Amino acid sequence: MVLKKLFLIKIPFINFPRRIKQFMLVNEYILLDKKGQLPIEFLLVVGFSVLVLMPMALSLSNAGELNQAMSAARAGALQGATSDSLAIYPEDTFRAYQREHQRLLNPSGVKIVKITYLNQGFNQSYQKTKIQLKIYASAPSVPDKTDRNCLGDRINFQARKKITESFNTENLTNSMYNPAFSQKYMFTTANVQWQ
């Protein structure tokens, strides 16, 4: 009789009412067991499920935090590229560019190509995993290396700022948002790679 009840667990996906009836029969068998014992198969399934689901839930939460940070970095990099493309800068930056980087006062077509990251391991100082972001960009109308470095600094700044805003950790970092923090990670940026 036990084997007959266990075969009811194979539930067809086509016939929905039959599926509910079979599920109710399995539950009825478990609840009406006269000896007060659960079948060993049921205990094995529940135990195995717990062993599989707990590590999976942990890794999914870590991946979710890293995905959120990468999305924020992409939004920040795009914002930085847009401000660079339109030559919209804060007043102090504008004055500095008037003295040293005249080319950056005119619009330039800056595009974000891709963003990658490198896990650099656990940082003992901050007690967080260190992630280094690398942003690849393109600006054919700005050939000068020092001008590109200025554009790259603005892109990196906006990427770190967006990560910090995304996790509400502005109070943990400096005015340059370097490094940027989430709950489990700290983020730094490498120099923008120009293509």
Instruction: For 105-128, write each residue's pLDDT tens digit.
Output: 888 889 999 999 999 999 999 999
pLDDT confidence tier of residue 18, bands split at 50, 70 and 90: low
Residue 21: which H helix or E strand, with range? helix 16-31
Q: Please determine, for residue 190, whether its predicted confidence score (pLDDT) is greater than 90.
A: yes
Please tell me the predicted confidence (pLDDT) of residue 124: 94
Angle, vertex CA 126, rays to CA 122 and CA 118, nearest 5: 40
pLDDT at position 137 is 96
Average pLDDT in the 59-77 region?
88
Q: Domain-by-domain residue ranges, the chain?
A: 69-194
The pTM (predicted TM-score) of the whole model is 0.70
* pLDDT at residue 54 tops 70: yes
pLDDT band, residue 3 (cuts 50/70/90)? very low
The β-bridge partners of 132 are: 118, 188
Please report the pLDDT score of residue 108 as a whole number: 86
> pLDDT tens digits, residue range 36-49?
566 777 778 888 88
- Helix ranges (H only) for 87-131 are 91-100
What average pLDDT does range 174-192 have in this prediction? 93
